[in-house]
Amino acid sequence: SLSAGGRAALRQGRPYLASQLSREALGGEPQREDAALCLVASLTQLGRSREVEVLRDTYRRQTARGMRKPSKMLDQAFDDALEA
C-alpha cells in the first residue's frame, strides 16, 4: 500500500518520497492516521513546517466539525513537529 511505502521510504532516509506516497495515500483515504503521521514526519525532516501547520489546521477543523476522530498520536506528532 502507499502508506506502507511511505513509512518504508521514511525509514530509508527518503523523506521526499515518503511525503509523496503519504499524500497519495491520504488522497485515496483521507482518514488514514498512519499516512498522516508519515506525512507529518517526512515534512518535518524536509523542514517544511508551514505545510505541517496547514495540515494541523485542516485536521483541527475536521475534528471540530465531527468529520474526523481526534487522535492523540496525531496531535502529539503535530506538537513535536512544530516545536522543532
pTM value > 0.85: yes
- What are the tens digits of pLDDT across the range 33-81? 999 999 999 999 999 999 999 999 999 999 999 999 999 999 999 999 9
First-residue to last-residue Cα distance in the chain: 30
Integer Cα distance of 8 and 11 in angstroms: 5
Q: pLDDT at position 84, please?
A: 62
